[in-house]
Structure 1
Amino acid sequence: MRSETSGKDADLVFRAVRIALAGKTLLNLDRSVPPGEILTVMGPSGTGKSSLLAYIGGFLDPAFDAEGEVWLGDRRLDTVPAAERRCGLLFQDALLFPHMNVGQNLAFALPNAIKGRQARRERVAEALAQIALPGLESRDPATLSGGQKARVALARTLLSQPEAMLLDEPFSSLDADLRAAMRELTFTAIRNAHIPAILVTHDLADAEAAGGPIVVIGETT
């Protein structure tokens, strides 16, 4: 069972987190991100913004040196396997499975606790309706537009019932109109799910749309 301070009501807390590469400090972070808030980490390309997400998610390249604690409620994340961290990931590319249709992509993310074909089909159909793509279960992901792929990727991530969201430049491959729509859809979904999120971006418009605090990195400390 989840404790009272985990799940959707948990803060994502960084305690003296420091990430460095070749002896150069890329970032220091010591703060809390409450449920529904989106903390934006900004900086130019090559400054190690994504290293923070990798440290939280459990896939940081060994070339980086990292220290400090990451907590989600009363669960310490940086000491457990990546599969146990319950962090949803959204990247610049949708990364849909090419050998699965849209419905299968979504069903793949469903927790095992949802039993029975009918129940799982209903959850997938509901998820597609929520992203304004009803009835697309049988579509090949290769036939989707960029915006459609981005929405399916978001729906798949949310179906996994994450307790925090990690967003790595998720809008950068979209044109201006699609970016605005995906920002609104993504940030609204995070607030509705009442989970904390970290957004990595070099785009000030992304940060402003997120509406949360902004951390700028890229200087030696």
Structure 2
Amino acid sequence: MTDALTFDKVAITLAGRDLISLDRAIAPGEVLTVMGPSGIGKSTLLAHAAGFLDPAFTAGGRVLSGDTDLTSLPPYRRRLGLLFQDPLLFPHMSVGENIAFALPPALHGRAKRRQAVAAALADVDLAGFEARDPATLSGGQKARVALMRVLESQPRALLLDEPFSRLDAALRDQIRQLVFAKARERGLPVLLVTHDRADADAAGGPVVEYA
């Protein structure tokens, strides 16, 4: 179980214009959905939390994991897992190598790391896919590999930037349910930004909606 992810009076502006603001705590295992039209700063909010905010924007407030102020840490130490519209798998690596890339350095030994990769793939019904080229995977398979790569990095929380929007309708609900179930299993707070009401309904948590 992880700590709550708290947005403490976070407010983002661009050239003096107010964009998005958030003052909420996300409990472990909870999904907070932020909805609104394009251009209000939904993705910018995630970028600020993760430490990649474009310097053209100004952000106030703090992002905390438990009592740890993440806004004072470099991105790699914030340990926030991100999923985007595209899976962004490394094309020069096999499926297994993509997963292994995310494993914590503290997991020593080739055999242990191979076992961790195999277990991660089996957990999403992709057992035996270690040697596969990501280019040969279906959209749903790529989404599952991307999810496990993020989870194997042992993040404090998940940040979801419309990760279901590129999936066809038949897969969308399946991958939604998988992502939320795995986050709950690990007790991860989740911030989802979307414009799709079905995403919010599937998340089943509180919703903050901007006009």
TM (norm. structure 2) is: 0.98
Letter in 1 for 2:119: E
Q: CA–CA distance in 1 between the matches of 2:119 and 2:2?
A: 24
Q: Does 1:80 align with 2:60?
A: no
1:12–1:196 Cα contact (<8 Å) kept: yes
Aligned residues: 211
1:42-191 matched pairs, under 5 angstroms: 42-191=35-184
Letter in 2 for 1:29: L
Q: 1:23 deviation in Å? A: 1.8
1:26–1:47 Cα contact (<8 Å) kept: yes
Letter in 1 for 2:161: D
Q: Which runs of 5+ in 1 are unaligned?
A: 1-7
**What is the CA deviation profile of residues 9-50 of structure 1, one whole-angstrom value per residue up to 9, with x for unaligned ones?**
311111111011222211221121110001101111122111
Tell me the percent identity. Answer: 62
Letter in 2 for 1:75: T
TM (norm. structure 1) is: 0.93
Letter in 2 for 1:150: A
Structure 1's consecutive aligned runs of 4 or more residues displaced over 6 angstroms after TM superposition are none
Q: 1:172 deviation in Å? A: 0.4
Q: CA–CA distance in 1 between the matches of 2:82 and 2:175?
A: 15
Helix, strand or coil at the partner of 2:12:
strand
Q: Does 1:9 align with 2:19?
A: no
Q: Does 1:24 align with 2:17?
A: yes
| 1:40 pairs with one of 17, 33, 39 | 33
Q: 1:63 deviation in Å? A: 1.2
Q: CA–CA distance in 1 between the matches of 2:23 and 2:38?
A: 23
Letter in 2 for 1:117: R
Letter in 1 for 2:26: V
Letter in 2 for 1:123: A
Q: Which runs of 5+ in 2 are unaligned?
A: none
Q: CA–CA distance in 1 between the matches of 2:122 and 2:40?
A: 38
Q: CA–CA distance in 1 between the matches of 2:6 and 2:42?
A: 17
Letter in 2 for 1:171: F
